[in-house]
Structures are given as structure tokens and as C-alpha cells.
Amino acid sequence: MHIHILGICGTFMGGLAVLAKEAGHKVTGCDANVYPPMSTQLEAQGIQLIEGFSADQVQLNPDLFVIGNVVSRGNPLMEEVLNRGLPYVSGPQWIGEHILNGKWVLAVAGTHGKTTTSSMLAWLLEDAGYHPGFLIGGVPMNFGISARLCGKEASDFFVIEADEYDTAFFDKRSKFVHYRAKTAILNNLEYDHADIFPDLGAIETQFHHLVRTVPGVGRLVVNGAEDALRRVIDRGCWSECERFGGADGVWALSTHDNGNFDVLFKGDMLGTVEWDLTGEHNRMNALAAIAAARHVGVPPERAIASLSRFENVRRRMELVGEANGILVYDDFAHHPTAIATTVGGLRKKVGKARILAVLEPRSNTMKLGTMKDALPASLADADLVFGYGAKGDGKQGLGWDLAQALSPLGGKARAFDDLQLMTDEIAKAAQPGDQVLVMSNGSFGGVHQKLLDALGR
């Protein structure tokens, strides 16, 4: 089959392209911005890329157009596909029908921690010899790739990061309803994606739809400390439900001073995870991954040992460099809860060392300003805060004043709309022993290397 992918350079659609090529399909694609690293990764797979969405791409005569959720009505290629009555399908539906069909799907859902937990789960299965396929919204360092059909041997298992974002302009259900999970992790749930969901209740409904797709022989691994997830389960559950954390969780943990933790199941101690990751959020992610891996037959004791060899995910508290005794980290955090967790985790790691938080609020939710009032509290553990973002139309820029939003932090916070000026000011403020934490869900204009160069001077 020849498929032509609209929006191919996004993380999900790029992973879909790799899986489709690996499965033997001819793959071409287009996007508004075709640039490295995704473009080079795809071209290395022999995938032809076209810049833009010109209507004449219908002349490629693919068997099927696969549509990413960045595509909307008015897109010239999409309009031509519709006008000609050509076959098209969403990316999540194509994945569900052509890659996941017949597999034991392990789906990881939640507002936070999907990428890290999916990476942990894939690694636990890999280290146990299950050779899983996976599609993850980041690059697990144990694998060096974000998607693959299977390992060295054919596998019945597939781990997928299960996003609650909508599927396509013609399918407003969350992506994860297409995956038909047999094992589903519900990691946490709070309000996000203000561009498509009016309130938390609307997201809970989508999670309820996910629960409805899990078969009776399946298992839900649910964070027992989350009230929103309790409400989701109370709306109906037809599968085994195994909770971690909370008062009634069968899975629990006990943390050591050094960040290692004991794993308990129904009160029995199963072993100790010894690792370098920080933060309660990562310990809960690990607990969920251990529980999900057990559903497919990985003994918890084996999973606990495997986690000591888990190498985390790129852009999750990733140390990108050091200059003159100043460390620069990169992290994907962009929601206030994730920002607070990330800064808090680094604080516990570095003690009294100064943390310089560098933030770009560029997600659709943050651009709308829905959560701007939560930013100051989320950055409370930082010693200095540097925010980057200019006011705009809410699409190209912020629909609110960043300096005003950060003003409760007083003199320790500054806002910039010039990246070079901000970089220079950070370099002036930084001192040996400082920790510079860069947080954004985008490339942030390559600020990480700019900072290292400036600090080196």
C-alpha cells in the first residue's frame, strides 16, 4: 500500500511513517515545515518528503491519505482530497487497524508522564526478552529511537503512548480510543489542552471512552491517588482494575533518602529500585510500569532489576552540557504541574545550589493563558526565572503578558521577547555551581547551545 501522510514531521506522525515503512508500505509525506531532525530521520528511511500542502500532491496517486491532527479545513491538499472523494483516514485509526490489530497493546495515558512511563514499560518488556514494538512521543535512551515495529524477534506486544488530544479535524475523539488496549495505564488526570477541551469533565469523558475499549480480560492500572481517575472508573469499568498509590492501592512504594525506593504489592516488599532518576513523579511512573509489565508476565522482581538500567528519555531532565562549572539541563515540561514537579525534583537533587529556570510557555494551552496564574507557584523552587514569549494573536505568540504573569515572583523573575538578549542576561547572572533548567515543549530556538556558548565565553 502507498500511503501519503499529511503532517508527517510531527512526533506521532513521524513515528507512524517509520512503522509503516518497516511494515512494508510505500510511504511519502508532506508538512508545512520540513526540517531536521525529523526530516533527516525520515529521509534516511527512504521516505520522500514534500514541503507544504500543495493540491497537486494528489498526483502521487497514493492508495490512502493519512491525516495528522495539524491539518484543518482550508488546507489546500485536504480540500482537494475531499473534493475528489479520495480515500483518507486519521493517523490513530490507521495505526489501530494496520499496526496494532492482533497485538497485545499496552497503552499509557495521563496528563503527565506518558512518555517516560511508556519508555520504562517498553524497556521492562525488552529487558525481559519480549521484544516489543513501540510508538513513543520521545526518544528512550535505552533504544535511541521513538518507534519500531518489534525487536530482534517478532513480538505480540506493542507499547504506545496514548494521547488524549483529539484525533483529527473530522474525528474529535481522543487518539487513544483507536488503540484497543488490553493493558492500560491511567497515570494521572488534570485539566489541559484548553484549545480543545472546555473543562476537566470533558477530558474525563474521553478517559471513560478509553475504559470502555479495554476488554474484560484486560487490566487497568490506575493511579489511586487521583480523584479525577476515581470519577472516571466510577462511571463504569468492565475490566480488572489494579490501583497504585492512594489509600486503596495494591501497589505502593517507600522512598529512601537517596531517591531509591522499595516496591510493595499488597503490603509485601518485592525489592528496591536503585537508580539515578529524581522526583516522586518518576517513582510513580515506575510503579505503574512495573504493574503493567506484570500483566503480560514480567515478574515484578525482574522489572525492579531492569529499572536500575533504565536510561530515561531525551529532554526529560537531560544534562546537555557544562560550561565553567554551570550545568545546563533540557526538559519538556510546559504545564504548571510538570514545571513544579521538574523544578522540585532538581531542587531535591542539588540541595542549596542555585536553580536558574528558563521557560518558554509555547503549548496551545499556555498560549491561551488558561494556566498563566499557576506559573508563579510552579516556579517557586527556582532562584531566578527567565521567561521567553512575546504577546501575539494567541496562535503565533502569547495571548497574555508574560511579565505580568510572573510579577508575583518579584525581582527574581524577568520576561523577554528577544532570545539573544535573554541568553546574554542568563550568562551574566550565572555563577559556577548553578543549575540552568531549560523548559519547553519545542526547540526553543536552540537556546541550550546558545547558553553553553555564552557561558563558555
Whether residue 22 is found in the same domain as residue 127: no
Whether residue 170 is found in the same domain as residue 143: yes
Question: What is the crossing angle of helices 280-295 and 114-127, to 10°?
Answer: 50
Domain boundary among 46, 62, 91: 91
Considering only residues 89 and 400, tell me which one the structure prediction assigns the higher pLDDT. Answer: 89
Burial class for 5, CB neighbours closer than 10 Å (0-12, 13-18, 19+): buried
Whether residue 110 is found in the same domain as residue 238: yes
> Which domain CATH number covers 145?
3.40.1190.10
Domain boundary among 307, 336, 351: 307
Give residue 229's pLDDT: 97
Domain that holds residue 69: 2-91
Residue 313 belongs to some domain of the structure: no
Of the pLDDT bands very low, low, confident and very high (cuts 50, 70, 90), residue 394 is: very low
Which among 155, 156, 160, 108 has a CA at the least distance from the CA of 136? 160
Whether residue 198 is found in the same domain as residue 250: yes
Whether residue 326 is found in the same domain as residue 402: yes
Residue 240 belongs to some domain of the structure: yes
- The pLDDT tens digits for 64-84 are 999 999 999 999 999 999 999
Number of domains in the chain: 3
- The pLDDT tens digits for 176-210 are 999 999 999 999 998 877 778 889 999 999 999 99
Give residue 6's pLDDT: 97
Whether residue 86 is found in the same domain as residue 107: no
Of the pLDDT bands very low, low, confident and very high (cuts 50, 70, 90), residue 226 is: very high
Residue 254 belongs to some domain of the structure: yes
Domain boundary among 67, 91, 115: 91
- The pLDDT tens digits for 266-292 are 999 999 999 988 788 899 999 999 999
Residues 100 and 107: their CA atoms lie apart, in Å, by 11
Whether residue 292 is found in the same domain as residue 244: yes
Residue 312 belongs to some domain of the structure: no
- The pLDDT tens digits for 18-40 are 999 999 999 999 999 876 667 77
Whether residue 333 is found in the same domain as residue 191: no
- The pLDDT tens digits for 138-151 are 888 899 888 999 98
Give residue 196's pLDDT: 83
Give residue 432's pLDDT: 92
Considering only residues 215 and 323, tell me which one the structure prediction assigns the higher pLDDT. Answer: 215
Whether residue 126 is found in the same domain as residue 53: no
Whether residue 342 is found in the same domain as residue 442: yes
Residue 9 belongs to some domain of the structure: yes
Whether residue 159 is found in the same domain as residue 227: yes
| Rg of the Cα atoms in the chain | 22
> Which domain CATH number covers 19?
3.40.50.720
pTM, to two decimals: 0.81
Whether residue 63 is found in the same domain as residue 147: no
